[in-house]
Amino acid sequence: MNPTTPTEPRVPKLTATRPFGILAEYLTPADVMHAAEKIRDAGFTRWDVYSPYPVHGMDDAMGLKNSKVGWFSFFGGVAGFTTGMSMIFYMNGWDYKLIVGGKPLFSPLYAFPVSYELTILFASFGSLLGMLFLNRLPRLYHPLLKSWRFKGVTHDKFYIVIETTDPKYSETQTRATLESTGPNHLEVVED
């Protein structure tokens, strides 16, 4: 090729987008509650409900179990209590044995304030880190943020999204199931 002859312009390769799921919009909490019950009864497992505020009874309508965050808090609290007792035992009963007024070198009674505070601290860290882990956060990108209609979730709209990764997902059947719930709007969200 001669460097003086023009070359063809480079065209960026277009990547095919794949669908993330089907987004259904509802106007009232009662509508989204009934829709969630129908989706649950249809057997879908990879779906979620989005609302501008908590809707009481939605956990039951979605068939959700208790959160596992409590276990993270419990084990964090146990670790904090054990750390506090071990720390005071090591410092007072092992490392720096100082007998004051005939008191024992280690007593759980005297170690309790430190253990109590560490229990609270580690339990709060356990709940925070457990929540972040279970929710897969921080997540800097989500396909729903591309949908301009989804912005209504922060104001007055309610949404259900059934993801394409659901084992029962079939675009025609999923769309028909969502249409039977009476949504205000349906749209396919691209990833």
Question: To the nearest whole percent, how much of the chain has pLDDT over 70?
Answer: 92
Confidence at 16, pLDDT banded by 50, 70, 90: low
Q: Give, to the nearest 10 degrees, the angle between helix 108-134 and helix 69-88.
A: 150
Confidence at 162, pLDDT banded by 50, 70, 90: very high
Tokens representing 26 are 């509802």
Alpha-carbon span 120 to 108, nearest angstrom: 17
pLDDT value at residue 17 = 80
Q: Is the pLDDT of residue 12 over 70?
A: no
Q: Is the pLDDT of residue 161 over 60?
A: yes
Domain residues for the domain of 111 are 69-134
14 vs 119, higher pLDDT: 119
Residues 110 and 77 both lie in one domain: yes
Task: Look at residues 118, 134, 150 and tell me which one is the last residue of a structural domain.
Answer: 134
Residues 130 and 76 both lie in one domain: yes
Strand partners, 162: 22, 47
Residues 91 and 176 both lie in one domain: no
Q: Is the pLDDT of residue 188 over 80?
A: yes
Residues 79 and 54 both lie in one domain: no
- Matching residue, tokens 């396909």: 143
Which pLDDT tens digit goes with each residue over 56-97?
Answer: 999 999 999 999 999 999 999 999 999 999 999 999 888 888
HSE-CB for 120 with a 13 A CA cutoff? 5
Domain count, the chain: 2
pLDDT value at residue 8 = 58
pLDDT value at residue 47 = 96
pLDDT value at residue 10 = 63
Q: Is the pLDDT of residue 14 over 70?
A: no
Q: Closest Cα to residue 127, out of 74, 73, 76?
A: 73
Q: Are 180 and 46 in contact (CB under 8 A)?
A: no
Residue 157 lies in a domain: yes
- Rounded average pLDDT over 110-131: 96
Residue 7 lies in a domain: no
Alpha-carbon span 25 to 50, nearest angstrom: 10
- Rounded average pLDDT over 45-62: 95
Q: Are 69 and 56 in contact (CB under 8 A)?
A: no
Residue 148 lies in a domain: yes
Strand partners, 158: 26
Residues 74 and 130 both lie in one domain: yes
Confidence at 4, pLDDT banded by 50, 70, 90: low
pLDDT value at residue 120 = 98
Domain at 42, CATH number: 3.30.70
At CA 53, angle to CA 51 and CA 57, rounded to 5?
85
Alpha-carbon span 172 to 19, nearest angstrom: 13
Task: Look at residues 134, 154, 169 and tell me which one is the last residue of a structural domain.
Answer: 134
Residues 142 and 130 both lie in one domain: no
Residues 91 and 181 both lie in one domain: no
pLDDT value at residue 107 = 86
Residues 102 and 116 both lie in one domain: yes
